[in-house]
Amino acid sequence: MKALTLLLFTCSFCVASPLFAQLTVTGNGQSVTLAEGARLDAAAVIIFNGATVQMTGDNTRLDAVNLSMGTNGQLIISGNNGDVQVEDGLGINNDGVLNVTGSNAFIASDLTIIQNGGMLTMSGLNNQLYSFDDFIIQDGGKFTTRGYVEATEVNWNGEVIFLLAGNAATGDYGQMYSENSPINVNGSIEGQLYNGYEPVTEQTYRLIDLDLSFDQSGFAEVVPGPGWSFDVEQNYADLIFDPNILPVEWLVFTGRWRGTDAVQLDWRTATESGSDYFGVERQNQRGNWDQIGTVAAAGNSMNISDYDFLDNQPGPADPLLYRLRQVDLDGAISYSPIVALERNGLSEPPTLFPNPATNHVFISGFSAGNYSITDAAGRKVSSGMILGTEAQRIELPANLPIGVYSLRSEYGKTITFEVVR
């Protein structure tokens, strides 16, 4: 029983098959690590109170009759070819986490349930999850997948995110299949671009496929941005990108301090089609987004529209993060880029010149980090690295068409400029 005495410390299981009646890992900072090729067998594995079980090595395996994570307990599979076999129930609740970042992971259980702030995230390449009985996500649960999921019966009342990491033909995106039972969804399903991927041609992603009916009562659709839409039919749900359909063409979204205790948000759209309103959202200190106000949209417009919103109670977070939740008349939802405002940013705003520009621009006042340049339709035309706050020359792409462009840093600071010839 020497392994049991190591549960309060970081340990590495390297024997072929340690067997426990019950393995309990508890307490902040306490962890169990499975090195390459290690296997852990237990009738029950319980991870809670901030403890962590890490499958860091390649080709590791965890076998259990029951597996549960709760009260900030975490199971992290960062090695490749990780294998988790649960005979009865896999439960994630009370802010517990199962996070799979390694590639080719395989998870199988009879019953899978996520509830009360629990999160299951599969962001690695070619991950698979099989739930041979129910796959339940209760209100407050969150499931994110880049891989393939198959279940006999699915009941989702929480939040489901399908990650899109490549074109549809590559298969590198989250997919769900149910063979013998309907899928009941009463929460939200979101498509989210991942790992820097941005499509440039028309794409159709089959997110949900099933043999029987698709029950979408209370179903909320969240698309990655302009040009995206859901097509939900009786036995499938597709997420479609059409670069020629842009409900809202964003030009710019910026934030600035008004004095020391208020934030002014300004945004501009080039065109709008069927837009209803903008929900202004601020991220709280738990990482969740709170709606702090709404602004009516133009509806249908082929002209530039300007909007603004004043946040008089920004709160203590640093940096402050804002985004716009754009809602169409048909209920479809998309999001703007995120704007970040630092409290030490009460200094002079960044600058860009010349404006209008031809072949290059000079920028200053930006924090070091990545930047991107997008056109009026939100398409990326260039990107690079900002070296610091001092003046820096940025070459524009050759033969860049005349028009309006936005340079945006990864921290949300944006300057709009014009290209002329």
Domain locations in the chain as residue ranges: 2-241, 248-345, 351-419
The pLDDT-based confidence of 233 (bands split at 50, 70, 90) is confident
Q: Is 268 helix (H, G, I), strand (E, B) or coil?
A: strand
What's the pLDDT tens digit per position in 308-364? 999 988 888 878 899 999 888 888 788 888 888 887 655 567 899 999 999 999 998
CA-based nearest residue to 55, from 3, 2, 107: 107
Respond yes or no on whether the N-terminal peptide bond of residue 224 is cis (omega within 30° of 0).
no
CA atoms within 13 A on the CB side of 70: 13
What's the pLDDT tens digit per position in 77-91? 999 999 999 999 999
Q: Average pLDDT in the 108-113 region?
A: 94
- Beta strands 74-77 and 97-100, pairing class: parallel
What's the pLDDT tens digit per position in 159-193? 899 999 999 999 999 999 887 777 777 888 899 99
pTM > 0.85: no
CA-based nearest residue to 320, from 342, 289, 336, 338: 342
Instruction: State which H helix or E strand residue 5 sits in.
Output: helix 2-5
Say how far apart CA 182 and CA 214 lie, in whole Å. Answer: 6
- CATH number, span 351-419: 2.60.40.3080
Write down the pLDDT at residue 391.
Answer: 84
Domains 248-345 and 351-419 share a fold: yes
Write down the pLDDT at residue 319.
Answer: 83
Instruction: Please give the class, per CATH, of domain 248-345.
Output: mainly beta
Write down the pLDDT at residue 11.
Answer: 41
Task: Calculate the CA 269 to chain-centre distance.
Answer: 24
The pLDDT-based confidence of 19 (bands split at 50, 70, 90) is low
CB 178 within 8 A of CB 152: yes
